[in-house]
Structure 1
């Protein structure tokens, strides 16, 4: 066959199919990736597999750029999106016909007829897709879509395709001429049928009590005799052994009559159709990528196409980013909040030579976890070849991504929470490289402050020596005071820096309160968690508790409910 090799819209070549890192389920959960499933969706039939592609991180910057360029064609050209939508309609029609078989696999002639019908649809589909692409091919800039357009055109112009187009009508005519069969029956002296054989195929179906008329002298005589002759449905009556054998032989004869059709189909059928149908998911992926951006922007979240930096740079620089999963959750909790992105505080990320290990401290509920999750989500979207939340971004791919977030789960009987955490972190260290990213959220908070400080300081030193990109959100303010010592005591290409969740002072009812701004900025921690202000916010400050008690107590004494 001269059918060209199929170019993928997801992988630049076969080598890049292997350059991936599959995220574990706990990472998907920690980063809230499943929260965006309704945003990253085009058709329901491919929604699950599109989300699954997010967890298969591309580790090659070249392939990330390949995808990003294709998506940009979708983002910038309505004509490309319209062509894609029309192509998806053609592909699903072909997929529906290809995916339906209502017969047993041993019914060979039915298999041939089914394949023949699908092949007719395939030929039509290629022709129609080629015509659709005429409307947008001049707008296409990406290598991937240009390869796709050329692939469809090469198939259409190939000798194999032309041969199929030429032969299908001939074989259709042969099939149409198989409307009936002439059967020869031998009888014994008692006029009992003893043998039967198929003689010819007939181009027209037989009519009731007319096909034996020629065997009798007059029409009236024939009609009188043939009143006893009836048509019987072979599909509805039970079959005796001889009848079953005869019908099996009939099936074999029909199969032999279709042999030339079978030879044509066997050469072109499976590979050509299945390869074409792979574009259903691939095109849907980019349509979902477009909808993700469109829906995020409708929610007030800025989205940008990240510049792909070399993996050796090991950078993650994003301006005005936020946690897109937070916006989704806010909208679910308050249906009237149509644009949660407008109220979510945006933050910058500057992970580069000036600092690759972030130790984030600050007040409780100050946005530390949200900031950590936002970086992880952006990295996942970036390595899928998609836009990321923000107004500008430049990012290097990571070869692996690890998270360590608090979770409720059964622990091994021989260890407590600390032992479990240490075991998990130790296992992580067996897999990381200098190109990996690690996101830690309140890790090692189950032991004493001193023990936690010693362990965390050692962990940060190891991360620095290896050269990792790390975000560590922690209440351990003392660790932030050790940053200079960590940087000076060990050599490494990842500088440790401190970030804090910024607070502001406001006066309320004559009292000074500290309120989180949710801005994460490079700074030295003041060592305060501002737990009082959080307690006060929820009515759990000491004076509030006592005020509630006395109020309730007075009501009780006065007999009030």
Structure 2
């Protein structure tokens, strides 16, 4: 989009580097599910996914997008009207394209239809300008887009073209005749033709032979100027099988004869229509009516192509921006819909400097919103990334919300950097250059290396790619082996991540790893590791997270009691069944 001159997604003054999130990451964060909730159209889902999965750490891009999105979110009438105009543009383009093959045979009549289409194009562009001018735009992107439309409108000379179309506009049903001028060579062979006028009356029939003879015999009848002065007779050429006209022309000097010679210009030869064999004129003459039709078709095609060229200056460039508008419009409709249901969203604030790289207040997982009836069903959390909390070791009871909060953080960054409002009361953040996830792999992906081997290889690749500006989300990594082996690998991995200062949430059941956070923090020059727990109150999951020491074995007791495998529950069951 940016290469074509303008974009409301990619600011032209920012030379940013973009990275593509992996398919695994998009799936782990549930972005595919989120896209399907935002739009029912598969093409639009792919469009939205393509935008949000390409991210950059440049805060200027996020701010540019945020401003555009807020303008579109604040103006529901703008969204509705722009969608209608985009649908109309798409219909005109598709309708025109569907008639390409037949258009070649429609000649002058198609030119009239093309003028209608061009007039509709111009009206769409004017309506788009009016629509944007009626709103109090605040974003740099939409203000620039309005200026961009003005520039294209003027460059395509749409104002002048609209006036010309109004003057040339003649309904097809009213057209009774067309006046043309034919240029000939010294052998009176037709070489080119131009349109003189479109008439609402038919020419009156006159004596063909006498008028033609007068025209070619009297020097006084030969005009010295090419411009038509209105002094002209109508010479009708009838489609007669006996070819009287052709015979007459042949007998009066062969002015319209065309020799069968390789030296004849190919363009002239292309206008020849052979007469039937045996009539004495084979290879010598052509029917004037067919010549006129062919030359008229060629002339109309040139006029049509010229009109299309000017129309494409504006239409093609504007049409290329339609997907970008659709991206914002679909998200705005989605946010508006859930805001009306009581769900809370806020504008994200991108920062480039400071010790705090994320400060989220009352955030929640966007995926929960599409599965809950009301906001009261969702538990919100606060979380901060700063110099003292760069890596979190997250522990808690099974099904206590560890994966949900891990996923929520990733979605927050994806939405914020896409310019979209985020599910929270407030969200300040330093944009990430990429998001990497390490969630449990499907069984069929671990056949060759085994689960632990696959986890190690995948983690090594992720670690090599991530930087201090990345976001790393680990979900039960290295949990497919014995506790001793998994703990050894996990501890070394966390130490290595700390050396890169990568913002990380490591969701794990290894409470010992979280308990050794202080020991890991003794490494010089490393980022700080903190223990983050999902609170459990009297055995009940609260789904609230806070910084604190892991609660350890109490979680195992919760699980055992839930599934009836404590000594008391097991022996009571045994006694009951006897």
TM-score, length of structure 1 as denominator length: 0.77
Q: Which of 82, 106, 110 is matched with 2:77 structurally?
A: 82
Return the offset for 1:7.
3.5
**1:377 paired residue number:** 411
Taking a change above 3 Å as real, the CA distance of residues 11 and 123 of structure 1, as seen in their structure-2 partners, is same
- Are 1:301 and 2:299 matched, yes or no? no
Taking a change above 3 Å as real, the CA distance of residues 383 and 250 of structure 1, as seen in their structure-2 partners, is same
Return the offset for 1:43.
7.8
Write the mapping of 1:40-439 to structure 2, written as runs, cut at 5 A.
40-41=38-39, 46-75=44-73, 77=74, 80-100=75-95, 101-104=97-100, 108=104, 113=111, 116-136=115-135, 139-157=136-154, 160-169=157-166, 172=169, 203=198, 250-266=293-309, 268-310=310-352, 315-328=357-370, 330-331=371-372, 338-339=373-374, 341-411=375-445, 413-439=447-473
Return the offset for 1:464.
1.0
- Are 1:25 and 2:68 matched, yes or no? no
Structure 2 residue matching 1:303: 3-state secondary structure? coil
**2:476 paired residue number:** 442
Return the offset for 1:375.
0.4
Structure 2 residue matching 1:366: 3-state secondary structure? coil
Is contact 1:364–1:529 with CA below 8 Å preserved after alignment? no
Taking a change above 3 Å as real, the CA distance of residues 58 and 497 of structure 1, as seen in their structure-2 partners, is same
Return the offset for 1:527.
1.9
Structure 2 residue matching 1:489: 3-state secondary structure? coil
**1:521 paired residue number:** 546
Cα distance in structure 2, aligned partners of 1:110 and 1:542: 90
**1:192 paired residue number:** none
Q: Mean alpha-carbon deviation: is it higher for 541-550 or for 372-381?
A: 541-550
Taking a change above 3 Å as real, the CA distance of residues 523 and 164 of structure 1, as seen in their structure-2 partners, is same
Return the offset for 1:104.
4.8
Structure 1 residue matching 2:415: 3-state secondary structure? helix
**2:558 paired residue number:** 533
Is contact 1:181–1:199 with CA below 8 Å preserved after alignment? no
Taking a change above 3 Å as real, the CA distance of residues 45 and 473 of structure 1, as seen in their structure-2 partners, is closer
Is contact 2:391–2:503 with CA below 8 Å preserved after alignment? yes
Q: Which of 519, 525, 537 is matched with 1:504 structurally?
A: 537
Return the offset for 1:24.
1.6
Taking a change above 3 Å as real, the CA distance of residues 199 and 130 of structure 1, as seen in their structure-2 partners, is closer
Is contact 1:42–1:288 with CA below 8 Å preserved after alignment? no
Is contact 1:39–1:291 with CA below 8 Å preserved after alignment? no
Taking a change above 3 Å as real, the CA distance of residues 462 and 249 of structure 1, as seen in their structure-2 partners, is farther
Taking a change above 3 Å as real, the CA distance of residues 316 and 251 of structure 1, as seen in their structure-2 partners, is farther
Is contact 1:317–1:349 with CA below 8 Å preserved after alignment? yes
Return the offset for 1:486.
1.3
Cα distance in structure 1, aligned partners of 2:447 and 2:291: 65
Taking a change above 3 Å as real, the CA distance of residues 489 and 59 of structure 1, as seen in their structure-2 partners, is closer
Is contact 1:116–1:265 with CA below 8 Å preserved after alignment? no
Structure 1 residue matching 2:332: 3-state secondary structure? helix
Structure 2 residue matching 1:82: 3-state secondary structure? helix
Larger Rg belongs to? 2
1:192-220 per-position Cα deviation (integer Å, ceiling 9, x unaligned):
xxxx999998957999xx9989789xxxx
Write the mapping of 1:462-481 to structure 2, written as runs, cut at 5 A.
462-481=496-515
Q: How many residues were matched structurally?
A: 493
1:57-104 per-position Cα deviation (integer Å, ceiling 9, x unaligned):
2432101001111222234x3xx3212321221222012111332245
Task: List gaps (5 residues or longer) in structure 2.
Answer: 181-189, 210-238, 242-272, 277-285
Task: List gaps (5 residues or longer) in structure 1.
Answer: 184-195, 217-225, 229-240, 332-337, 506-513, 555-561
Taking a change above 3 Å as real, the CA distance of residues 109 and 59 of structure 1, as seen in their structure-2 partners, is farther
Structure 1 residue matching 2:368: 3-state secondary structure? helix
Return the offset for 1:119.
2.5
Q: CA RMSD in A?
A: 4.0
Taking a change above 3 Å as real, the CA distance of residues 402 and 311 of structure 1, as seen in their structure-2 partners, is farther
1:106-126 per-position Cα deviation (integer Å, ceiling 9, x unaligned):
964669747644432221112
Is contact 1:465–1:490 with CA below 8 Å preserved after alignment? no
Is contact 2:394–2:532 with CA below 8 Å preserved after alignment? yes
Taking a change above 3 Å as real, the CA distance of residues 25 and 536 of structure 1, as seen in their structure-2 partners, is same
Is contact 1:39–1:295 with CA below 8 Å preserved after alignment? no
1:4-53 per-position Cα deviation (integer Å, ceiling 9, x unaligned):
x854221211755x532222221111111223235534988744423432
**2:218 paired residue number:** none
Taking a change above 3 Å as real, the CA distance of residues 280 and 482 of structure 1, as seen in their structure-2 partners, is same
Cα distance in structure 2, aligned partners of 1:13 and 1:477: 49
Cα distance in structure 1, aligned partners of 2:562 and 2:201: 89
**1:454 paired residue number:** 488
